[in-house]
Amino acid sequence: MANPSSIIEDGIEYSLGNFDGTKIVYDFPKILVFLEAKGKILFGQHFKIYEEDKNVLFKLCNYYIKDQNYCEKFEMDPEKGILLSGPVGCGKTSMMKLLRYLVPHQRNYVVMPCRNIVFAFNHLGYKTIEDYGDSSNFCFDDMGVEPIGRHYGRDCNVIGEILLSRYELFLQTNLKTHATTNLSAYELEDLYGLRVRSRMKNMFNLVAFDEKIKDKRK
């Protein structure tokens, strides 16, 4: 019988904690060992978890494993999605791609660049909004820096419209939406409008990197 407190990658078993027969008692240092190993598989041997990232990662890990005590401490609602914000190059996208593997039994999500969604809209039109506004699980990457969509001469704030559609599903079915962004809450409001911004507050837990964190791509 498989041990529910461990994950096997490339033939190596990584313990994430201890299973007491009813629940997993997670161990954060062990989780970090697994995430760094998985990160090297996904992104290459240069990947590493930096000391400066561990506070953000600790919050996110407790969200993903739905640790009730820590979620309450960090004022996070496990029924909402994650909006991960931070400066360019801090590792937001990699972190959201990586954390999917921490709880493989949970429903996964696709990480999709917002600019790609807008390009699809420019080609296919409003069907794109229907496709991404449906009940599939997505993490919208680099939200807020995508161009305005244009189809047959008509402009459309594509991501804003998708968020409105997904908000209705969130109310009806608790559908989660995740996203990453380089922008502040005020900048997002300027871009998408007050109506979308108010719904985002209900849809997302905001988790933010320190603004002074270094660009890991340099």
Mean pLDDT of 186-209: 93
The full length of the chain comes to 218
Is pLDDT above 50 for 1?
Answer: no
* pLDDT tens digits along 34-63: 999 999 999 999 999 999 999 999 999 999
The CA distance from 105 to 11, in Å, is 19
* pLDDT tens digits along 96-125: 999 999 988 888 899 999 999 999 999 999
Q: Which domains does the chain have, with CATH numbers?
A: 79-208 (3.40.50.300)
Q: Is 160 exposed, middle or buried (0-12, 13-18, 19+ CB in 10 A)?
A: buried
Is pLDDT above 50 for 11?
Answer: yes
Q: Tell which residue, 171, 184, 168, 107, has the closest CA to residue 139.
A: 107
pTM over 0.85: yes
